[in-house]
Amino acid sequence: MADLKAIPNAAGFSAISSTAPVPSKGQTGTRRKYCHYVAMHSQTRPSRLGHDSETVPSFLGFRNLMVLALIVMNLRLVIENFMKYGVLICIQCHDYRRQDIYLAVVLYAMVPCHLFIAHAIEVAAAWHAVSVIGQQKRNEDKPEIDQLQLHVRLHDPTWIFVAFAHTVNATLCLTITSVVVYCYINHPLIGTICELHALIVWLKNCSYAFTNRDLRQAMLHPGLLPNLPGLFKACPYPRNITLRNLSYFWWAPTLVYQPVYPRTTQIRRGFVVKRLAEVASLSIFIWLASAQYAAPTLTNSLEKMASLDFVSILERLMKLSVISSIIWLAGFFAVFQSTLNALAEVMRFGDREFYADWWNSPSVGAYWRTWNKPVYNFMRRHIYSPLAGRGWSHVAASTMVFVFSGVLHEALVGIPTHNILGVAFMGMVIQIPLIAGTMPLEKLQGVNGKIIGNCIFWISFCLVGQPLAALLYFFAWQAKHGSVSQQTSRLV
């Protein structure tokens, strides 16, 4: 007797297998008649999408459908945009002044000088620390001298001066750039680049000062502080206070200073070329998308914003959310995947976890812990952990982190646009209740809670966060300075 699966189907499909007997050819060579009593329902089975299904089905087909739908919808927007506005790309259309370029070049050359001023401060501090240790060794044979009191008398005033010098240096680094950008640089993109550069160097300055302060304390008080990481033994304090060590930290793709970093053995030139090609391609794409699609949407929203037509504003937000998300994702890949990896390869920087799978974040808090690891590492090491070590609760320390981050975001957005509205600051502060609200979803057993948390994250990120902030700052810019470019001014 042959199995049913061996019988070819006349329609071209493979036959359904069954344990029921199927007639086979007899001795005379004739095929017996097929019987219609084959059991098609022989066991209990749940629906494929039912909750009681033992296996989770693959949704690859639905994913392909959503990707195709997204492509078709955006192609429709491309055609609609072209039919309505024509080609808006104009290389010669700009509104920056020659003064903006000159000041940007000066700031770019001047800001890193504050790192070398910090190095000079650390050289003086290291020299004094070595002299204090020498003085302690000379008095070891004098038990009548309290070593701790001697250290306090000789050392603390110098540390106060060192901390004051670092504070002044870091403050000037950020203050000078912010004043110049706000008062003298008109173009918001050029101002943003200058302000971002100053913020990065300022954060590096702070990390350099905090880390070397604690390394000095560990050298002066062995046994009183936690043991240093084993990685640091290759370059103990004060051997790390060199221009070469500082220069590496200056260009390394991290905001957290360490005397030693994990390093790779060689530089892959092909890898660097590919990453730079990605940066160039994505930069062109961002420019085209911004000029052709984002600018008209923002410009057409001005009248609705002025008249407080909330329904139309909501429609503009939803339309803007698509292109702003695409531009943001392209920028994220260009910076965190391409630029930082290319820089890490050139510097042979080994730790390249610049981000984690933030797109799967089951809560808002998980997103902030995973999407920007350089900033997260700085906040955790130099703000959250010191506050927690001083007895602050998790909520209080986290609140301080987001307040500090809100100030930085407001400076990065409000100063280059010459409109300090507080929107970016409030956007960061609002993350605190969102994190508290989605944290229970992250801890729920099963996938339902994580799916809900991930949806809340994407809604707050794509629909409410970026588009609303872009719309408000663009409206404030237009109200204060007029059209952003010659090309978009014709659309008003």
Residue among 41, 409, 418, 481 flagged as catalytic: 409
Q: Which of 131, 121, 148 is nearest to 213 (CA)?
A: 121
How far, in Å, CA of 422 to CA of 414, rounded? Answer: 8
**pLDDT under 70: residue ranges of the chain:** 1-32, 90-95, 136-156, 223-225, 481-492
Tokens of 110: 């001047």
Q: Which two tokens stand for residue 25?
A: 């050819």
CB 276 within 8 A of CB 338: yes
Q: Is-contact 199 416, C-beta < 8 A?
A: no
Active site residue 409: yes
Q: What is the pLDDT of residue 86?
A: 77
**In degrees rounded to 5, what are phi and psi of residue 31?**
-90, 130
Contact residues for 135 (Cβ-Cβ < 8 A; gap 6+): 150, 154
- pLDDT value at residue 484: 39
**Cis omega (within 30 of 0) on the bond before 238?**
yes
Question: pLDDT tens across 307-348, in order?
Answer: 777 787 788 888 888 888 888 889 999 999 999 999 999 999
Long-range contacts of 430-439 (CB under 8 A, 24+ apart): 431/364, 431/368, 431/402, 432/398, 432/399, 432/402, 434/364, 434/460, 435/363, 435/364, 435/365, 435/368, 435/398, 437/364, 438/362, 438/363, 438/364, 438/365, 439/363, 439/365
Short-list 329, 304, 299, CA closest to 315: 304
pLDDT digits (tens, 9 = 90+) for 230-244: 888 888 888 999 999
